[in-house]
Chains A and B, each alone.
Chain A
Amino acid sequence: MVTPLGKAIEFFRDFGLFDVVLPFLLVFTIIFAILEKTRVLGTVKTKDGEIPNKNLNSMVAFVVGLLTVATANVVRTLNESLPNIVLLTVVGVSFLIMIGVFMKTEEFDFKAKHPRLYLTFIVLMFIGVIAIFLNSIYDADGNSWLEIALFFITTEWSGAAFTSIIFLIVAVLAIYWITRSTKEKKESG
């Protein structure tokens, strides 16, 4: 069933809103905002003090935005990955709402009150974001990088390379755990 709003979306898709306009707008805005924030390209002195050089910032952001939309692979990756990232955000917010049911009435400061859980979710979200982007980047044969990585893991699970990586990770974690415990004892003693 094609709805009136659905028809509008189809019109915008044919117009190129999702392939050209929105990726350009997103890249332009983000680059401009970061340049304004970091003042990489210098500042201009005015009566009110030093302000970011808006002309240069906007020109650089404009060029980067246009270059981005001219690269079809990057636009495809953006169009595929960003909705999934947003879904991840909605999932995260939903989880916090669910946890909030069991907590008392106050501002939810996850970081201060539950640092370990906070760190766990940071790691989970990081893995999620990496997986989403890897799933949106393709090689020449049309396989995503995530598929290639998973294929490598599943086929080389008991191979020398994968075992060495796991051994390395375990060794590093063990060294970190032991040295951290010793340090804490010294501090408490």
Chain B
Amino acid sequence: MAVQDILYQLQSSGLYEIALPFLLVFTITFAILEKTNIFGQDKSKINAVVAIVLGLLIINQFEIVDRLNLFLPKISLFIVVAVMFLILLGVFGARVENGFSGVLLGLAAVASLVVVYWALTPYVGLDYYGPSWLESWLYDNAGTLLFLIIAGIIIWAVVSKPGSNRGGGDWFTKLGKNIDKSFGRDSN
């Protein structure tokens, strides 16, 4: 039997729509409850019951399961792209094992947030801004928002003092130092 046939059989048995979402939600919820000790220490039975109930509740909502099934592959795609990017950096001598820090990590966080937003939207492209009222509001107030953002960045850059940790005056300096650090060069 070909692999495709096996996958088709698994799909037609409801593995992707019911079993896998349940398993994922159960595992994540149980792990978080065990880690955070919300219900006290050594309460694995209570944690398991709550995780099972949440897992069963989610598979009853087909819309959420569909969204989850669309969301996770997109996240996986980003992770593969990110790893490929790190491999490329490694080719050029970057010390990838030390990880990013400072501004570079901030940029990675912003990129991850954009990907999360993209993965959550029902369409494939980035042409979805949100509910219709938000889209119309953004369309009407785009100029004001742009002005506020630019003014905020300018104030942020002007207010900072050289050498201090606050504000954005040293932003590009910090970025350069972080890139140097990633490539194993001492910027001092």
Binding site for B on A (CB under 8 A): 1, 3-6, 9, 13, 17-18, 22, 25-26, 29-30, 32-34, 36-37, 78-80, 82-84, 86-87, 89-91, 93-95, 97-99, 101-105, 114, 117, 150, 154
Of the A-B pairs whose beta carbons lie under 8 Å apart in the complex, a sample of 11, sorted by A's number, is A5-B18, A18-B56, A18-B60, A22-B56, A29-B49, A33-B46, A80-B61, A83-B61, A98-B78, A99-B112, A101-B83
Q: A94-B71, A103-B100 are in contact. Are A9 and B24 (CB under 8 A)?
A: no
B64 touches A83 (CB 8 A): yes
A98 touches B60 (CB 8 A): no
Q: Which residues of A contact B120 (CB under 8 A)?
A: 91
In the bound assembly, the distance between CA atoms of A3 and B24 in angstroms comes to 20
Question: What 10 A-B pairs come out closest when comparing CB atoms?
Answer: A5-B14, A3-B14, A104-B99, A33-B39, A98-B112, A103-B99, A83-B61, A5-B18, A102-B108, A83-B58
B32 touches A89 (CB 8 A): yes
A3, A26, A80, A99: which contacts B109 (Cβ < 8 A)?
A99
B43, B53, B58, B68: which contacts A26 (Cβ < 8 A)?
B53
Binding site for A on B (CB under 8 A): 12-15, 17-19, 24-25, 28-29, 32, 39-40, 43, 46, 49-50, 53-54, 56-61, 64, 67-68, 71-72, 75, 78-79, 82-83, 86, 97-100, 104-106, 108-109, 112-113, 115-116, 119-120, 133, 137
Q: Which residues of A contact B112 (CB under 8 A)?
A: 95, 98-99
A91 touches B116 (CB 8 A): yes
Residue among A89, A94, A104, A114 facing the most chain B CB atoms (10 A cut-off): A94
Prevailing SS type, chain A contact patch? helix
Closest B-chain residue to A181, C-beta based?
Answer: B166
Q: Which residues of B contact A29 (CB under 8 A)?
A: 46, 49-50, 53
B53 touches A4 (CB 8 A): no
